[in-house]
Amino acid sequence: RLHLVTWNVGTASPPPDVTSLLQLNSLGPTTDMYIIGLQEVNSRITNFLSDLAFDDPWSVFFMTVLSPLGYIKLSSVRMQGLLLLIFVKHVHLPFVRDIHTHYTRTGLYGYWGNKGGVSIRMSLFGRTICFMNCHLPAHMENTEQRLDDFEKILEMQFEGEDIPSPMDHEILFWFGDLNFRIADYGIHFVRESINNKRFNLLWEKDQLNMAKKKEVFLKEFKEGPLQFKPTYKFDLYSEVYDTSEKKRKPAWTDRILWKVKNLCEVASKEGEFPEEENPISVTLNNYVSHMSYGISDHKPVTGTFKLEMKPLVSDPLVTLSPEGEWSAEHDVFMRYSTVPEFPSSAWDWIGLFQVTFRHVNDYVTYAWVEDDEISSNKDSKQVYMSASEIPKMGGEFLLCYYSNNLQSIVGISEPFQIQPSKTPIEGDLPEEESSWLQKPDNPES
C-alpha cells in the first residue's frame, strides 16, 4: 500500500497537523510506503545552503511524525524548491535495494533549478520502480513548454550501471505541480461548474487530458478521475478561489499519474512467452484533494494505491539477531548469516537503533562486522559490542546490517529489550550527554 502526496507549499512552514493528509486515522490496512513530493519549499539561497548541511524543516517534520509509527526515511532528493521524500516501514527495508536519486533542471534553459524534476528509483522486492516529482512552467499559454520539459526530464539517466531509464522501469509514478490549466472556457463558466460540482464539464478542456490524447509518450500514463475541486488558486487559509486583481482561473495543477510497463508486450516482442499474464498490478484506491490545508495557494492532493506484484526477491541478504540477554552490565553479542551471493565488505557495519529511528544515520552505536568479529562457522558469524557502548537506560532496540557495497540496510532484527544498568551512570552527566559521548564517528563518512 503506497500513499503519495503532492503539494506546492508556497515557501510556507509545515502546518501543525498532517493526520488527514497522511491518513493516519485510516481504519484500513496500514501504509507500507509514503512518497511525499513538495514544490516551492522555501528556497531562498541562505535556506538552501543551510538545508544542504542539515535536514530541511519539512524533512524533519515528516520524520518526527512518521518515525514513532515505525517508518524510516529511506531516501530524499532536493533541488532548490523541489523536495522528494520516501518513508518505508522497517519490515520492508531488506527488500528495498539499488536506490538512486537524480534531479533535472529545466528553469532558465536548464541553468536554474526553480523548475524541473527530482527522481528516486529503487528495486522493491526485485521489481523496478521510479518516482518523479516535477514542477513544470506556469501560465495558460505554456502547454508546449510543459510537455517539452517533461520529455526532457524523462530522458535523464541515473548514474550507475544497468539502471533503466525512467520509462523502462516496471512502475513509474509522475506527480507534482504540473501546472496544466483549463483551456477555452471563461472564468465564470469554470467557477459555475465547480460550484455545481459538475467537474466533468471541465475535463475535456484540461490541458493534460488533451495532451494525453495526442502525445505518444503520455498515452500509457493513467490517472484517477478528477472528482475533486481544482486545487489552484486559493486565497491563503481559505476555500475561496483567487480574489486578487489577477483572479486566476481555477485549474487542476496538482496531479498524480502512473504507468505500468506492459511486460507481456515486451516478452512477446522478444519472442518469449511470460509464465503469467502480468506479474504487477497498480490499483488506485483513493484520489483526493485536502481542502482544509491553507498554508499556500494550492491544496495538497493524495493518491492511495494498492501495489500487487510477484516478488523476485523474498529473502533478505542478511539475517541477524541479538544473542542472549542484552544489558549495559556486560559485553553483548549478535549473530548474522548471509546468502551465498552477498557482496560483503570490510566496511560493512551493524548498527544498534532505537525502534523509532528516523534514518540510517540515527544509530546509537555500531560494530564493524570484520573488526569486531569473534567467531564464525560455515553458517554464521558472531560479533561483539562493548558494554561501554550500550545505552545505560535500556529500552527497545533493533539491529540493522548496513552494506557498504549496496549503500543500504540489507538486514534487520526483530525488536528486543536491553535491560537498564543496575549501577548509576558515572559522573553527573545528563543521560543525553553521556550517550552522545559513547556514540562513535559516523561509519558512512
Residues 25 and 144 in one domain: yes
Q: Read off the CATH number of the domain in which 138 is found.
A: 3.60.10.10
* DSSP character string of 339-385: -TT----TT-EEEEEETT--STT--SEEEETTTTEEEE-SS-EEEEE
How large is the average pLDDT for residues 16-42?
93
Residues 45 and 186 in one domain: yes
DSSP state of 415: P
Q: At residue 189, does pLDDT exceed 90?
A: yes
List, for residues 90-135, the tens digit of each pLDDT value. Answer: 999 999 999 999 999 987 655 555 799 999 999 999 999 999 999 9
| Amino acid 437: pLDDT | 37
The answer for residues whose C-beta is within 8 angstroms of residue 270's C-beta and 6 or more apart is none
| Amino acid 273: pLDDT | 44
Assigned domain for 428 exists = no
Residues 119 and 59 in one domain: yes
How large is the average pLDDT for residues 228-247?
96
Residues 268, 288 contacting (CB under 8 angstroms) = no
| Amino acid 266: pLDDT | 46
Residues 276 and 390 in one domain: no
Domain ends where: 271, 290, 309? 309
Residues 280 and 359 in one domain: no
- Copy the grid coordinates of residue 327: 544489558
- Copy the grid coordinates of residue 61: 517534520
Residues 90, 76 contacting (CB under 8 angstroms) = no
Residues 248 and 110 in one domain: yes
Taking the C-alpha atoms of residue 411 and residue 427, their distance in angstroms, rounded to an integer, is 36
Assigned domain for 445 exists = no
How large is the average pLDDT for residues 434-440?
42
Residues 367 and 233 in one domain: no
Query: Domain of 368?
Result: 318-419
Taking the C-alpha atoms of residue 429 and residue 41, their distance in angstroms, rounded to an integer, is 39
Residues 353 and 270 in one domain: no
Residues 126 and 266 in one domain: yes
Residues 23 and 49 in one domain: yes
Q: Read off the CATH number of the domain in which 373 is found.
A: 2.60.40.2840
| Amino acid 439: pLDDT | 46
Assigned domain for 434 exists = no
Assigned domain for 442 exists = no
How large is the average pLDDT for residues 59-80?
95
Assigned domain for 325 exists = yes
| Amino acid 268: pLDDT | 42
Taking the C-alpha atoms of residue 255 and residue 132, their distance in angstroms, rounded to an integer, is 12
Assigned domain for 62 exists = yes
* Domain tally, the chain: 2
- Identify residue 218 by its one-letter amino acid code: L
List, for residues 151-164, the tens digit of each pLDDT value. Answer: 999 998 998 888 99
Domain ends where: 292, 309, 326? 309
pTM of the model: 0.91
Domain ends where: 252, 280, 309? 309
Residues 216 and 173 in one domain: yes
Assigned domain for 164 exists = yes
List, for residues 380-428, the tens digit of each pLDDT value. Answer: 999 999 999 999 999 999 999 999 999 899 999 999 999 998 876 554 4
Residues 289 and 327 in one domain: no
| Amino acid 428: pLDDT | 40
List, for residues 254-310, the tens digit of each pLDDT value. Answer: 999 999 998 655 444 444 445 556 799 999 999 999 999 999 999 999 999 999 999
Assigned domain for 431 exists = no
